[in-house]
Amino acid sequence: MACLHFLTKGKHSQHGMVVFIHHGTITSDLSEKIVRDYCKAYSWQFKSLAINPDRPMASSQEEYWRDERYRLFGQVAASFSACKIITAHHLDDAVETYLFNTLNGKAYTMPVSRRLKEDSNVFVVRPFIRNKKESLLMYCKENNLCYYVDPTNFDGSNMRSYIRKNIVPHALFVNAGLYTVVEKILYPPNNKVLFEYI
C-alpha cells in the first residue's frame, strides 16, 4: 500500500494499472479487497489474477508462486502494452533472498531493474528496494493507509517465513551490518546498468 500511495501522489494512476495476484490463501480475499477499494477511491485501473493451484511436485511453493506471478505480470504487460512493471519489493525482501540463495549455493539475484525475460522489452523495476519494511509500515501509519500484515509472514510455515523468523535474527547477530552488505550488492558503485531503466 505504501508503494501504491506513493505512486498515487505522483499522479501515476492516470497511466498505470494495479495488478493483484491472488495466491489462494486464507488472507488473499481480504488483501484483495483493501487494494481494490483503494484503487476505486483513487481511480486506478485494477485487475485481479489468480495463481494456478496445480503446482508441479518438483517446484517449491515459493518458486512456483514467484514464477506464476511473473508469468501473470507478463500477460498483463502484453495486453496493456506496458514497458515497466513496478513491484513493492523492499530491503528486507532482498536480505531474505540473499540468505536463501546463499544457503542453497545459488548466486544472489534481485537487481534494481531487470528484463521480464531475456528477449523482453518489459522491465521489472523495484524502486523501494533500498527501504526497510519498517519504514514502509511507518509510511502507511503516517498517511493513515489501510494495510494488512499476513500472519503467515512470521509463522515459519514456508521457507521464506522460516528464514525471516529464525535465520535473519541470527544473521544480524553475526553481522549487524547485513542490510548494508546487501544494499552494496544491489548498488555497486561502478555498475550503472542497474539505474538505466528506473
What is the C-alpha to C-alpha distance for residues 87 and 180, in angstroms, rounded to an integer?
Answer: 21
pTM: 0.86
Please name every residue paired with 85 in a beta bridge, in sequence order, or none if there are none: 124
Number of residues that this document lists for the chain: 198
What is the C-alpha to C-alpha distance for residues 128 and 125, in angstroms, rounded to an integer?
Answer: 9
> Is the separation of the CB atoms in 123 and 113 below 8 Å?
yes
Of residues 188 and 178, the one with the higher pLDDT is 178
| Residue 193 clears pLDDT 50, i.e. is over it | no
Instruction: Extract the C-alpha cell encoding 198.
Output: 528506473
The residue type at 164:
R
Q: Is 125 helix (H, G, I), strand (E, B) or coil?
A: strand
CB burial string 35-63: b at 16+ within 10 A, e below: bbebbeeeebeebeeebeeeeeeeeeeee
Q: What is the pLDDT of residue 194?
A: 42
% of the chain residues with pLDDT over 70: 88
Gyration radius of the chain's alpha carbons: 17
Lowest mean pLDDT among 50-64, 137-151, 174-188: 50-64
The per-residue pLDDT for range 102-154, each reduced to its tens digit, is 888 887 666 677 778 776 788 899 989 999 999 999 999 999 999 988 877 77
Of residues 78 and 13, the one with the higher pLDDT is 78
Q: Which domains does the chain have, with CATH numbers?
A: 2-188 (3.40.50.620)
Q: How far is CA 41 from the centre of its chain?
A: 23
The per-residue pLDDT for range 17-53, each reduced to its tens digit, is 999 999 998 889 999 999 999 999 999 999 999 998 8
Q: Which residues contact 140 (CB under 8 A, 6 or more apart)?
A: 1, 2, 5, 147
Kind plus residue range of the DSSP H or E element containing 18: strand 17-22
Q: Which residues contact 96 (CB under 8 A, 6 or more apart)?
A: 160, 163, 164, 168
